[in-house]
Structure 1
Amino acid sequence: MNAKEVIARRVALEFRDGDVVNLGFGIPNYSADFIPEGVNVILQAENGALRFGETPTEENYNPNLANSGGAPITLLPGAATFDIQTSFAIIRGGHVDATVLGALEVSQDASIANWLIPGKFAPGMGGAMDLLVGAKRVIAAIQHVDKNGNSKVLKECSLPLSAKGVVSRVITELAVFDFQDGKYLLREVAPGVTVEEVLEKTEGDVIVADDVTTMPI
């Protein structure tokens, strides 16, 4: 399993029966392929769909159905489609139980930066600003280090923030973190990964929970 699949599989275990969950670009949308059997989660695409499923195959691909990132989706029985205004009314009205968003950086005060690298073109923050304050629970799905091996799980974000103090849980290919007393709280480590390795690759301050477990992926 590569890093993205590890994160996507672990993200899918956060889905709760009956919840409305919004998935962001990239790894979050990938997690739709790994919904546990028997979990009836209602996935929302912010461009205007409720109850979509896994990535289509050549046999069931429909070019008119796509998620917010433009990637093809399948609609499940009972699905609804609507305009983007209605979609954002759902988000801003507090009807989204959880959102899973990718991130460039997270910080130990539960802040997230996920939209802009100075000097690089960005079309805008998009729906993240609404989701980060409108969803009841925010899960950040992020690769633990960048291509140069530098931690993206930081004491303080260096990039422009998308929102401050809103993240509930951070899931990387190495670990699962919650937050406690202004620090990361290490809850899980990936199979084959040690607590020491996680601490070495995490720039932020970490409290190690007494009952750290292995990711059930």
Structure 2
Amino acid sequence: MQPKFMSAADAVALVPDDATITITGGGGGLCEAMLLQQAIEERFLTTGHPRNMTLVHSLGIGNRKDTGVSRFAHPGMVRKVIGGHWVWSPRMQQMAANNEIEAHVLPGGVAMQLMREIAAKRPGLITHVGLGTFIDPRVDGGRMNEAAKDPLCEVMQIDGREYLRYLPFPVHACLLKGSIADDDGNISLDEEPANVDTYAVAAAVHNSGGKVIFQVRDRVASGTLGARQVRVPAAIVDAIVVDPNQTQGYEITYDPSISGQSRRDLPAPADPGFSARRIVANRARQELRDGAIINYGFGIPDEIATIVAARGEQGRYYQTIEHGTYGGRLLTGTLFGYSQNASCMIDGPSQFDFYAGGGLDIAFLGFGQVDKAGNVNASKLGGMPVGPGGFIDIAQNARTVVFVGTFDAKGTKVQSGKGDLTIERHGDVQKFVDQVDQITFSGAQALRQGQRVLYVTERAVFRLDSDGLTLIELAPGVDLHRDVLDRMAFAPDHGDVGLMSQDCFIG
């Protein structure tokens, strides 16, 4: 057998021009092969190779500056990107906006599960996820700019029901992160904060005849790792780079409570202070019920998790993260995706199987725009590709979906903290629009599926009904017309409006 251990420069030299290459991760450096990504960038900048690649990633990867996906954001290095989430790389976002690359999106869970189908050489991924959204080929087909032409999926019928078939493609290389490798090349993920789609990607690349490249923190003797510690077998690994300086993320060197190897006592989370975000989170939290299986999205949903942790109520619900984690204290902000003292970690594709089948009772997700039909845009804002990450997979399938966000944006000033709300300045950006710029969540599809859908803001709460949005609650102290209806591009039904609980407005 060929030796598997080599330098980072030698490992990335295995990636050819025109390759379809996959990377994994989940924001904040989670499961990100930082050394390998740096090495492939340095090789391209030095030699001009590998070039004309297609980059595939299921979730957001990077630090919003120069890591992760940004390592590939150079003219000529990639010609096409199929990305689940884009905001962690402004450079790649700008290349997409300028039509310098072909920019496509797949839902995060679909991207993970498609790797599993590619590995098995099945005819793609057949699923209802994405129907009615911008992923649907009858809408935008997941294309994020004019340069994007290739189809990623097609509509089909089985037993009279519509599905999307996401098309398979060969994957020629992957840059992956593990924790420990033994001398044979078996890979453990023991020190990682999640499993994400690591195994699915490795299997897809191997069975496509490509190169599976790992970086790890340590190398140990053969037989040192127990069989249950090995998550990727040596049989499908081509190259391994040992990086003794490898960390769990950008801000975390190593914390065994994050990798699930041990538990530790945690101090109460810091209080972020009272704000419009806190009002929204307070109201959204009222939708929780004991025993519910829940998911929190990125952004304002973070604050719901913070409130739950501060009140010591994590044990009342089954908290999940799409990366494959259950339980624990969910970290927020740039560390979204990490959990301390988690109770379970499964592979990302399996987590999305559970979500797609309706396993979630409640999902709390952010929004950028909402229109009269209840459609939500969270994936293309201000003309820039944002991408849904796991948003579509989650929102389309949870029994109850609670969208949370401020009523408007850019310059909004509110005063609260004593049981009511005063709008001191309205925002310059309207978020309740006649028609969203992109359909990340389809109101019509939700009605067909019988989902319960709420839209919670700091000054009003709406419900999705058969005729579109209905205003059901108003903040105390807010004027119905001046502060809400006159600030919307459409008129929701508002025949029976109650008051939001005063508790939401007390700091």
Is residue 89 of structure 1 aligned with residue 362 of structure 2? no
User: Secondary structure, in 3 states, of the residue corresponding to 2:279?
Assistant: helix
CA offset digits 1:56-108 (Å, max 9, x no partner): xxxxxxxxxx79963654336xx222221221121112101121111110112
User: Secondary structure, in 3 states, of the residue corresponding to 1:206?
Assistant: coil
Is residue 70 of structure 1 aligned with residue 355 of structure 2? no
CA offset digits 1:33-69 (Å, max 9, x no partner): 22377681211111111223365xxxxxxxxxx7996
Stretches (4+) displaced over 4 A: 36-39, 66-69
Residue ranges of structure 2 left out of the alignment (5+ in a row)? 1-273, 411-426, 447-451
Q: 1:194, CA displacement in angstroms?
A: 2.7
2:327 aligned partner: 51
Higher relative contact order (CA 8 A, sep 6+): 1
CA contact (8 A) 1:46 1:68 kept: no
1:176-191 → structure 2 map (5 Å cutoff): 176-191=461-476
Is residue 18 of structure 1 aligned with residue 267 of structure 2? no
CA offset digits 1:168-196 (Å, max 9, x no partner): 11001111111335242222222332323
Instruction: Work out the CA distance in 2 between the residues paired with 1:75 and 1:189.
Output: 38
CA contact (8 A) 2:403 2:454 kept: yes
Instruction: Work out the CA distance in 1 between the residues paired with 2:399 and 2:290.
Output: 15
CA contact (8 A) 2:461 2:472 kept: yes
Q: How has the CA–CA distance of structure 1 residues 110 and 69 changed in structure 2, closer, same or farther, with 3 Å as cutoff?
A: farther
Is residue 202 of structure 1 aligned with residue 465 of structure 2? no
Instruction: Work out the CA distance in 2 between the residues paired with 1:40 and 1:189.
Output: 28
TM-score under structure 2 length normalisation: 0.37
1:138 aligned partner: 401
CA contact (8 A) 1:190 1:214 kept: yes
Q: CA RMSD in A?
A: 2.6
CA contact (8 A) 1:155 1:205 kept: no
Instruction: Work out the CA distance in 2 between the residues paired with 1:18 and 1:33.
Output: 18
Identity %: 24
Which range is displaced more, 205-214 or 13-22?
205-214
Aligned length: 203
CA offset digits 1:148-187 (Å, max 9, x no partner): 5232122321x11112113711001111111335242222
Q: How has the CA–CA distance of structure 1 residues 43 and 136 changed in structure 2, closer, same or farther, with 3 Å as cutoff?
A: same
TM-score under structure 1 length normalisation: 0.81
The structure richer in helix per residue is: 2
Residue ranges of structure 1 left out of the alignment (5+ in a row)? 56-65
Instruction: Work out the CA distance in 2 between the residues paired with 1:13 and 1:207.
Output: 23
Is residue 153 of structure 1 aligned with residue 438 of structure 2? no
Which range is displaced more, 169-178 or 140-149?
140-149
2:455 aligned partner: 170
Which range is displaced more, 133-142 or 178-187?
178-187
Instruction: Work out the CA distance in 2 between the residues paired with 1:17 and 1:149.
Output: 39
